[in-house]
Structure 1
Amino acid sequence: MKHRRITTRRTAVAGGAAAALVIAGITFQSANATDSTEQFSVKALTAPAAGTLALSLKTDLGAAEAGAYYETGTKTLVVNVVSEDAAQTVRAAGAKPRVVENTLAELGAARKALTENATIPGTSWATDPVSNKVIVTADRTVSGAKLTTLQQVVRNLGGKAELKRSAGEFKTFASGGDAIHSGGGRCSLGFNVVKGGEPHFITAGHCGDTGSEWSDSAGGAAIGAMVESQFPGNDFALVKYSGDTPHPSEVNLYNGSAQAITKAGDATVGMPVQRSGSTTQVHDGEVTGLDATVNYGNGDVVEGLIQTSVCAEPGDSGGSLFAGDTAIGLTSGGSGDCSSGGETFFQPVTEALSTFGAEIG
């Protein structure tokens, strides 16, 4: 039987803004943070290069580093610090230092308090380096006593947290690269990978269970079986190809072309990204938060996600989030749609590859 070629797709992330948040960013100045007024030489960097520099400075600065983000307008990496000595190190590296009030340890304690006292379906929280706070989001289903509890917990955290509302409802997008089908359900292929020298692909964990068979058309012959699936907690799964199905390392752009994928990388707030999924195809957007915790309800809580301004809809689950030739994430869930907009969360690809012992290919 001849199988159609499966490629991973690119979805243009909805709601792309001029200032992309990479390790956390747009150019805002919050009430509890100040920019240095000293003159220093700042390097113009691409988003991936800024992410690499941010990780290096995080190692060098230790507890004195409090997050970073990329300003797309100036192509500048901004690094939050809590001391002037740390600021000098940032300047010497060619980035822009910004002295802030809250340390990452303090923001981590705020996140812990939210986990302990406000684990409510329809909520999410992520560390935002631009505001130097933990941004807590409640969707439209959070009301009454639950909303009151959430408001009180955030209030008790003072300047370390801020509460926002979403007009939509947080949910996984199962029902998006190329469409993949199993048992009447549809998701999207994320990225083709290699494990032990054999071809596999990765997708969202909530799409199916270990042992489930997958095809490239509704009711079609199986092209592979899911060998591992993790959800909740994480949201990724690995499917091993069977037969001779083509498995190029690329993402479907739904315009007759494809984007080659050569490597995997980590997200940075402010990073411009694209998403490809089988329902809404390609959309653009930006990374707006990291290490996000999302409560989809029914006990389905996922941690360590990438938060973005990308739109997505049912069927896009598992689809590709990428930046150029770099694989970044797998579509997990969110709120809204590609008509009204919304936010979407992604499972980091690097964590999935590390867990499975696989690599892009």
Structure 2
Amino acid sequence: MRIKRRTRTAALVSSLLAATAALAPGQGAHAAPAKPTAAQLSAASAAVQEADVAGTSWLVDERTNTLVVTVDRTVGAAGVEKIRAAAGDAADAIRIERTNGTLRPLISGGDAVYAPKWRCSAGFNVRKGATYYFVTAGHCTQGKPPYYADSGHATSIGPTTGTNFPGSDYGIVQYTNGSLPHPSAVDLHNGGSQRITAAGTPTVGQSVQRSGSTTGLHGGKVTGLNATVNYGGGQIVRGLIQTNVCAEPGDSGGALFSGSTALGLTSGGSGNCSGGGTTFFQPVVPALKAYGVNVF
């Protein structure tokens, strides 16, 4: 009898194991979804750009291996559906997030600098040999306007000598007024300044500060790299630094820095310094290389 019970028990266990094996892997067991491949992420990124929905930005979140598409308040359900439809089979690689306000270049109609039709912020003072310049946002230098140190346009700084926008967002203005000081420092808007001695590339999670002529000095963290922003009207800018540091119109071109290291130039964003927002910065190193200038 004992022998028979063992035999029946063994037969029952064998049957259960066989039944379990028959369910694997598709029945009863739920495999984790595969992460998007690099090809899928690339295809999704290209599709978002092709969809051309103004008020969007996107970057690859390497922690989750997804393409994070941020949409502002002007983008409705139809805009989101247009993006997903354009992505096709790569749509599963996309994660949609919303941001308050409207994504826009932060120009108005560091230290304030004035073109004939708008105000921006100086980024970093730089030099090539004995010639001095400041770098700022490229959307501030479109049309290569002259720049002035005052809103009445009485004190000339000098001419715009280079501009890159859209695609990138950097420009350069030469100091031709020898009476104006041009130290390698960032205004902290509290009576002090931060000496700048180097230029570098930020990392995600790094603590940073931003100086601008509208809102002064604010701090936060880098939340992403290599972001693309569609400001609308064909104004798409790539390779940007994304942060949670607030900014407002007129802060465009202002300095993003960490300690004595220059990191970026304010491009645009959404929100404001009352409720917060998302901001984007042109990395400064490509701008310096493009014009053959250095911080000093």
> What TM-score bracket applies, with the shorter chain setting the length?
0.7 to 0.9
Given candidates 116, 122, 125, the residue that maps to 2:58 is: 125
Q: Does 1:230 align with 2:164?
A: yes
Q: Does 1:294 align with 2:213?
A: no
Q: Which runs of 5+ in 2 are unaligned?
A: 1-30
Give the aligned residue type for 2:171: A
Give the aligned residue type for 1:120: V
Q: Does 1:342 align with 2:277?
A: yes
TM-score normalised by L of structure 2? 0.83
Instruction: Please give the secondary structure, in 2, of the residue aligned with 1:337.
Output: coil
Given candidates 237, 240, 245, the residue that maps to 1:305 is: 240
Aligned to 2:174: 240
Q: Does 1:108 align with 2:39?
A: no
Q: Does 1:319 align with 2:258?
A: no
Q: Deviations over 1:36-93 (max 9, x none)?
A: xxxxxxxxxxxxxxxxxxxxxxxxxxxxxxxxxxxxxxxxxxxxxxxxxxxxxxxxxx
Q: Which runs of 5+ in 1 are unaligned?
A: 1-30, 34-99
Q: Does 1:207 align with 2:132?
A: no
Q: Is the 8 A contact 2:139 2:166 kept in 1?
A: yes
Aligned to 1:73: none
Aligned to 2:101: 168
Aligned to 2:113: 180
Q: Distance in 1 between matches of 2:48 and 2:77?
A: 18
Aligned to 2:75: 142
Q: Deviations over 1:216-252 (max 9, x none)?
A: 1111221111001111111110000012211110111
Instruction: Please give the secondary structure, in 1, of the residue aligned with 2:246.
Output: coil
Given candidates 263, 285, 290, the residue that maps to 2:220 is: 285
Given candidates 234, 252, 262, the residue that maps to 2:197 is: 262
Q: Deviations over 1:292-336 (max 9, x none)?
A: 111111111111111110110010000000011110000000100
Q: Is the 8 A contact 2:71 2:96 kept in 1?
A: yes
Q: Distance in 2 between matches of 1:195 and 1:106?
A: 43
Give the aligned residue type for 1:251: V
Give the aligned residue type for 1:190: G
Give the aligned residue type for 1:237: G
Q: Is the 8 A contact 1:194 1:359 kept in 2?
A: yes
Q: Is the 8 A contact 1:268 1:287 kept in 2?
A: yes
Q: Is the 8 A contact 2:144 2:163 kept in 1?
A: no
Moved over 3 A (4+): 100-106, 151-156
How many angstroms does 1:166 deviate by? 1.5
TM-aligned CA distance change 1:32 to 1:300, over 3 Å: farther
Give the aligned residue type for 1:248: P
Give the aligned residue type for 1:230: N
Give the aligned residue type for 1:108: S
Q: Deviations over 1:258-281 (max 9, x none)?
A: 111001001211111100000000
Give the aligned residue type for 2:69: V
Q: Is the 8 A contact 1:210 1:228 kept in 2?
A: no
Q: Does 1:328 align with 2:280?
A: no
Instruction: Please give the secondary structure, in 2, of the residue aligned with 1:358.
Output: coil
TM-score normalised by L of structure 1? 0.69
Q: Is the 8 A contact 1:154 1:162 kept in 2?
A: no
Identical-pair percentage: 50
How many angstroms does 1:103 deviate by? 5.0
Larger radius of gyration: 2
Q: Distance in 2 between matches of 1:251 and 1:242?
A: 20
**Greater relative CO, 1 or 2 (CA 8 Å, sep 6+):** 1
Give the aligned residue type for 1:198: T
Q: What's the RMSD between the two structures over aligned residues?
A: 2.0
Aligned residues: 263
Q: Distance in 1 between matches of 2:217 and 2:68?
A: 27
Aligned to 2:17: none
Q: Distance in 2 between matches of 1:132 and 1:124?
A: 16
Instruction: Please give the secondary structure, in 1, of the residue aligned with 2:49.
Output: helix
Q: Does 1:218 align with 2:160?
A: no
How many angstroms does 1:156 deviate by? 3.9
Q: Does 1:275 align with 2:210?
A: yes
